[in-house]
């Protein structure tokens, strides 16, 4: 084979994370695979950042949500991706080549790679001034934050408790509440995550609210919160952690408070019964259990929020070769912001 031929073969391959079995993070291995070619209505994106989601870890274990089809192995994970359009398939205007884009590809995958395919209708332009990691941190997690806050009205008079505020979703919820002028009790899991939370209020559009970072691993945090608030009780709980932390947060709420259950990263859903609801006149909402609204509109709004400075998503970057470590960080709840893979 000539040198030119070898170069041509090498140019048609790429590095990708490949999963050939269900199991622990060790099943994620980087391999050299063929470069994908876009079909009709698709584009190929040179990946600059790929989002890593808790759902990705569940899919890897063959424990994905019932709403999602079981993946066919081997596969390359990754449903959130950002980068530059490299090629287009039939029916797609070639003028888009070279554009900075971000996409959530839904039930498809492929983002943990140097290149990936995406339906052209899934693309959004990356706003000026927004980095690829920030964009990919926003496209899925940010749209969830928009959906959550559509379910509860939050204003300057509110005190909002957010367990897991150092994570990808919790941090964006905290910033959106701060941008609306609320007081945010940002719970984090240990001093290692405190620095992430302390930076959430940095930004002109976030200065109107009040940020109170508290370590949820210190059992005295409710008393410390009461002292800082001068006895005022929280009016909103946005809980994506559940377990003992979620329950402790619930116990601090005042009468008429609103509770929004987002998830249970602790592995245990928030436990509450009719007595809790009646005694405190609570309103409880589970927005992610409803029929999904227009996801593209939520994505557009989320990207507008980061472009306008109402969110500045903290990002926890890992190299593509360290995808297994990125999954471990999420499953062991060690992430500091949204976990993102970069080439």
Q: Burial code of 168-180, b = ≥16 C-beta within 10 A, e = fewer?
A: bbbbbbbbbbbbb
Strand-strand pairing, 42-51 and 80-88: antiparallel
* Structure confidence by residue, pLDDT tens digits, 248-284: 999 999 999 999 999 888 888 898 989 999 999 999 9
Nearest of 251, 272, 252, 253 to residue 261 by alpha carbon: 272
Higher-pLDDT residue of 65, 185 = 185
Cβ-based neighbour number of residue 148 at 10 Å: 21
| 8 A C-beta contact, residue 128 and residue 156 | no
Sign of CA dihedral 267, 286, 151, 259: negative
In the chain, alpha helices (H): 3-11, 54-60, 132-139, 141-150, 168-179, 194-198, 221-229, 243-251, 274-280, 295-307, 323-331
Q: Residue 110: pLDDT above 90?
A: yes
CATH numbers and ranges of domains, the chain: 3-126+313-342 (3.90.180.10), 142-289 (3.40.50.720)
| 8 A C-beta contact, residue 194 and residue 271 | no
**C-alpha–C-alpha distance, residues 149 and 65, integer Å:** 22
| Model pTM score | 0.90
**C-alpha–C-alpha distance, residues 222 and 226, integer Å:** 6
Q: Residue 2: pLDDT above 60?
A: no
């Amino acid at each position: 084979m000539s040198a030119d031929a070898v170069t041509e073969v090498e140019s048609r391959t790429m590095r990708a994370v490949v999963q050939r079995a269900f199991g622990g993070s060790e099943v994620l291995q980087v391999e050299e695979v063929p470069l994908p070619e876009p079909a009709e209505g698709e584009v190929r994106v040179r990946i600059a950042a790929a989002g890593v989601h808790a759902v990705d870890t569940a899919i890897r274990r063959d424990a994905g949500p019932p709403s999602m089809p079981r993946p066919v192995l081997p596969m390359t994970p990754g449903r959130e991706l950002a980068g530059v359009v490299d090629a287009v398939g039939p029916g797609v205007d070639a003028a888009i080549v070279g554009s900075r884009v971000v996409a959530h590809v839904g039930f498809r995958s492929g983002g943990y790679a140097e290149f990936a395919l995406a339906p052209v209708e899934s693309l959004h332009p990356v706003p000026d001034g927004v980095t690829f990691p920030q964009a990919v941190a926003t496209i899925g997690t940010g749209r969830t934050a928009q959906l959550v806050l559509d379910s509860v009205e939050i204003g300057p008079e509110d005190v909002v408790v957010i367990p897991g505020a150092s994570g990808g979703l919790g941090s964006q919820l905290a910033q959106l509440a701060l941008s609306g002028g609320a007081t945010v009790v940002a719970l984090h899991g240990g001093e290692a995550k405190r620095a992430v939370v302390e930076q959430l209020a940095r930004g002109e559009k976030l200065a109107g609210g009040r940020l109170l970072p508290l370590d949820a691993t210190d059992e005295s945090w409710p008393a410390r919160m009461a002292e800082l608030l001068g006895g005022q009780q929280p009016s909103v709980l946005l809980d994506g952690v559940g377990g003992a932390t979620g329950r402790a947060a619930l116990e601090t709420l005042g009468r008429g408070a609103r509770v929004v259950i987002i998830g249970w990263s602790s592995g245990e859903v928030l436990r509450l019964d009719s007595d809790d609801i009646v005694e405190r006149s609570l309103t409880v909402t589970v927005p992610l259990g409803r029929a999904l609204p227009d996801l593209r509109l939520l994505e557009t709004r989320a990207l507008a929020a980061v472009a306008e400075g109402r969110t500045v998503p903290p990002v926890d970057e890992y190299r593509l070769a360290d995808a297994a470590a990125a999954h471990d960080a999420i499953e062991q709840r060690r992430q500091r912001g949204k976990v993102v893979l970069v080439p």
